[in-house]
Structure 1
Amino acid sequence: MIEIPSKAEGMHFDLFKLERMLKPLGYTIGSGWDYDHGSFDYKIDDDGYQFLRVPFRAIDGQLDSNGCTVAIGRPFLLSHKYQQGIDDHAVTGNMTAAFNQFSEPVDKDANFPEKYVDIGKSLVNELESTLFAD
């Protein structure tokens, strides 16, 4: 994981409006969200799954409620390396197969390839430009 300091840290946004600003840039809401925190992820490359993650936390309301206000945290770069083939820890059964169909990461905090660090920094610059556009 490589942190990238940003002028956006600590900024407050209505979550719905923030999502409307970031989705056209290629961000998706990360899968690890909860009622009080989450993240927007930008997939940089498929080779090892490199992402720019922009974390946020609820400061007024819960993430699943209308009008939730969030504060942006420090963006960071991360890699996930997934194993090839069938997941040896997969859960079988009709119900669990519907929810647990993907391989577990081999290394959730894999080393981030140096060649993508500058791309991550430029993505943070683009993020800041978008958020400060008004």
Structure 2
Amino acid sequence: MLELNTEIEGRMASFGTLRDRVVQNGYHFGGGWDYHKGSFDSILHREGGETIYLRVPFEVYEGELDDYNTSIKFRKPYVIKHVVNTGLDKDASSLVSGSFNQFQEPLDRDAQIHDKSRWETAGEFAIEEFLQHLE
């Protein structure tokens, strides 16, 4: 995991409005949310079974995440790498034989990131674009 030092940490936003904007630009509302915190995730790079994500975490400042008008406050963003198995899936629930199952758990949720300066720069650039949605 590579933590990024950016201007987004501590910034505030309206959850529903921001979610609608960033989803149109390739971000996903992260799956590990609860009523008090969550994240927006974006893919920076995908090759084979390796995916490098930008994660923009936040905490609820006022309200709960099931409310469109909830106020959120951003925490320190980071880059993370997931590795999944791309071999043949012997599970009957596999979507496509010979491919990876998009619902499988990553083999490594926090795999080592090579060329750290490249991904720090890519993450910082993506955060600059993300900040435009706050204005």
Instruction: Report the TM-score when normalising by structure 1.
Output: 0.79
Distance in 2 of aligned mates of 1:102 and 1:85? 14
Does residue 46 (structure 1) correspond to residue 46 (structure 2)? The answer is: yes
Unaligned runs of 5+ in 1: 93-100
- Structure 1 counterpart of 2:108, one-letter code: D
- Stretches of 4+ aligned residues off by more than 6 angstroms: none
Q: Within 5 A, what are the aligned runs for 1:110-129? A: 110-114=111-115, 115-129=118-132
Specify whether residues 16 and 54 from structure 1 end up closer, same or farther in structure 2 by C-alpha distance, changes over 3 A only.
same
Q: Can you list the C-alpha shifts for 1:53-73, whole angstroms capped at 9, x where unaligned? A: 000111111101232111111
The count of residues paired between Structure 1 and Structure 2 equals 123
User: Percent of aligned positions with the same letter in both sequences?
Assistant: 31
Using the TM superposition, give the Cα deviation of residue 21 of structure 1 relative to its aligned residue in structure 2, in angstroms: 2.8
How large is the RMSD of aligned CA atoms in angstroms? 2.3
Distance in 2 of aligned mates of 1:111 and 1:75? 17
Does residue 63 (structure 1) correspond to residue 65 (structure 2)? The answer is: yes
Instruction: Report the TM-score when normalising by structure 2.
Output: 0.78
Contact 2:16/2:67, CA 8 A, preserved across alignment: no
Unaligned runs of 5+ in 2: 94-101
